[in-house]
């Protein structure tokens, strides 16, 4: 038996062709499209119909809060999934984890489409909804992190921002598809049709995307950075003690420094950068839809159509931010987008709550592209660059999911409580300012990561 602590041969450069890069890009795009299609399907359903279907015996305001809570509970499972699958991805590679996570997400989302309602089985209906949301969340906890890591590690260094932004385009594609499906349903179905069977259609349609994504990922090569890592032997990472022993014999100072580096600063920087996008997303893409329909009594098609238009414009916003990040660096773009969102928060909310269809649409389109999609484009590459190759998957997944729990999951519930207590929209604007300010301060103290060697096992900070 070979001693696992013997010095492994120097890893050869893991060359990838343009075809390999294309396959990785399409795979990452499809996977994140599916995750965010599921995310948006669920969030819009929670805002539009779940309060009636699964929580019919309470007031509209309490029903909205309960529906937002079922939406948020999945983030607890996402954190567990981030820990479990993140460690697996750092130990045995990215590809296998991405196959498992997409399967868990897709199956649970499809099953939501066949759930019995409260009228059929009573309290068991919301219980089963929560169970499926937990399974969905467990798989999703590492899905976007894995896709982000895989695409960033595949991308050419000078084009890493724009290539990694394809992950964000995937999220935008999923959001656009889900919002488009809901917009069509709201336009063509009556209220009774929507509540009786129409709400099931979006969840059942997600099965088609599941099959396509699984097929793509089975034919995907492993991340070249993972294969080039100095602590990976025969496709499996050495333990820390084994890697330190190898580093000592080989005088591999970079590997040893990375293994002994005190962790923490890069993680908290990533968490701070995550807050703006995650918090703003929960407010703009989830809470405002329910708030406008339930509290302000607007036609539900108005905010969903606005998100549809905003997502379509995002196909320009996302790659443009990626290109600018490659040209000028990550920090200046983060600062500019966060500061602009802070300044625009109150004017945008005045527009969104004005009751005018045109003003609502313009306000939500701007809020979505400035405060959510633009930041997400940067997040897709910056968070990957902040971490060393040995723990990148785990740390990135944890930063994303902890940020998601603190901002995206809790935010809509807090916003529902504050708006109900104050009878006004201003708490939403305040929350947008706070979330964006956290990201702005973080960007100002973080190191510039553009062009960093992703094989390096050391964190950027």
Opening angle at CA 380, ends 377 and 384, nearest 5: 150
Total number of domains in the chain: 1
> CA 300, 301, 307, 312: dihedral to nearest 10 degrees?
170
Query: Could you tell me which of 439, 430, 438, 431 has the C-alpha nearest to residue 411?
Result: 431
358: pLDDT confidence band, cut at 50, 70 and 90?
very high
Question: In this structure, are residues 352 and 371 in contact, taking their beta carbons and an 8 Å threshold?
Answer: no
pLDDT band at 224 (very low <50, low <70, confident <90, very high): confident
- In the block, tokens 């294309």 appear at 22
Report the C-alpha gap between 354 and 75 in whole angstroms: 32
Q: Has residue 255 been placed in a domain?
A: no
What is the SS3 assignment for 61?
helix
280 SS3 class:
helix
Question: Does some domain include residue 80?
Answer: yes
What torsion do the CA atoms of 373, 374, 378, 381 make, to the nearest 10 degrees? 40
Compute the average pLDDT of residues 125-137.
Answer: 83
Contact 304, 431 (CB under 8 A): no
Domain membership flag for residue 227? no
Backbone angles phi, psi at 232, to 5 degrees: -105, 125
The pLDDT value recorded for residue 71 is 62
With respect to residue 11, please indicate whether it lies within any of the assigned structural domains. Answer: no
pLDDT (average), residues 117-145: 83
Q: Could you tell me the CATH number of the domain that includes residue 204?
A: 1.20.1250.20
Rounded to whole angstroms, the Cα distance separating 163 from 380 reads: 10
The answer as to whether 9 is a domain residue is no
Evaluate whether 330 touches 382 at the Cβ level (below 8 Å): yes
pLDDT over threshold 70, residue 455: yes
Give the C-alpha separation, 372 to 318, whole Å: 10
Provide the token pair at 337: 């987008």
Q: Is 254 within the bounds of a domain? A: no
* 414 domain residue, yes or no: yes
Range of the domain at 23: 18-222+263-445
Average pLDDT on 288-303 reads: 86
Report, as an integer, the average pLDDT of 347-355: 94
Q: Assign 427 a pLDDT band (cuts: 50, 70, 90).
A: very high
Residue 178 falls inside a structural domain = yes
């Amino acid at each position: 038996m070979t001693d696992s602590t013997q010095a492994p041969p120097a890893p050869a450069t893991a060359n990838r062709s343009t075809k390999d890069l294309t396959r990785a890009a399409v795979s990452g795009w499809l996977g994140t499209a599916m995750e965010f299609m599921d995310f948006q399907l669920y969030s819009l359903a929670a805002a539009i119909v779940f309060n009636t279907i699964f929580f019919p015996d309470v007031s509209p305001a309490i029903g909205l809060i309960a529906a937002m809570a079922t939406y948020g509970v999945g983030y607890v499972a996402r954190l567990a999934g981030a820990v479990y699958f993140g460690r697996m991805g750092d130990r045995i590679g990215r590809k296998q984890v991405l196959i498992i996570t997409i399967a868990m997400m897709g199956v649970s989302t499809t099953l939501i489409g066949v759930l019995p309602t409260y009228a059929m089985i009573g309290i068991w209906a919301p219980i089963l909804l929560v169970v499926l949301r937990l399974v969905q969340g467990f798989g999703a906890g590492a899905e976007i992190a894995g896709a982000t890591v895989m695409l960033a590690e595949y991308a050419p260094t000078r084009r890493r921002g724009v290539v990694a932004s394809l992950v964000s385009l995937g999220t935008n594609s999923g959001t656009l598809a889900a919002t488009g499906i809901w917009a069509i349903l709201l336009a063509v179905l009556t209220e009774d049709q929507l509540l009786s069977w129409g709400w099931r259609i979006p969840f059942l349609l997600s099965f088609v995307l599941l099959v396509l994504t699984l097929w793509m990922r089975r034919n995907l090569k492993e991340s070249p950075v993972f294969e080039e890592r100095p602590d990976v032997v025969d496709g499996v990472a050495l333990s820390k003690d084994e890697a330190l022993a190898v580093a000592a014999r080989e005088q591999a100072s970079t590997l040893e420094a990375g293994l002994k580096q005190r962790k923490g600063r890069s993680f908290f920087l990533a968490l701070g950068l995550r807050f703006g996008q995650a918090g703003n997303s929960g407010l703009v893409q989830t809470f405002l839809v329910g708030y406008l329909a339930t509290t302000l009594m607007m036609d539900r098609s108005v905010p969903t159509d606005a998100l549809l238009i905003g997502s379509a414009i995002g196909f320009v916003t996302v790659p443009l931010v990626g290109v600018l990040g490659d040209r000028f660096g990550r920090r200046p773009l983060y600062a500019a987008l966060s500061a602009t969102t802070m300044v625009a928060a109150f004017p945008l909310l005045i527009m969104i709550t004005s009751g005018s269809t045109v003003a609502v649409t313009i306000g939500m389109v701007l809020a979505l592209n400035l405060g959510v999609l633009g930041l997400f484009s940067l997040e897709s590459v910056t968070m990957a660059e902040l971490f060393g190759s040995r723990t990148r998957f785990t740390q990135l997944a944890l930063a994303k999911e902890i940020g998601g729990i603190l901002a995206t999951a809790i935010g809509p519930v807090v916003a529902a409580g504050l708006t109900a207590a104050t009878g006004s929209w201003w708490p939403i604007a305040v929350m947008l300012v706070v979330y964006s300010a956290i990201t702005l301060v973080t960007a100002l103290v973080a190191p510039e990561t553009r062009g960093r060697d992703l094989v390096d096992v050391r964190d950027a900070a």
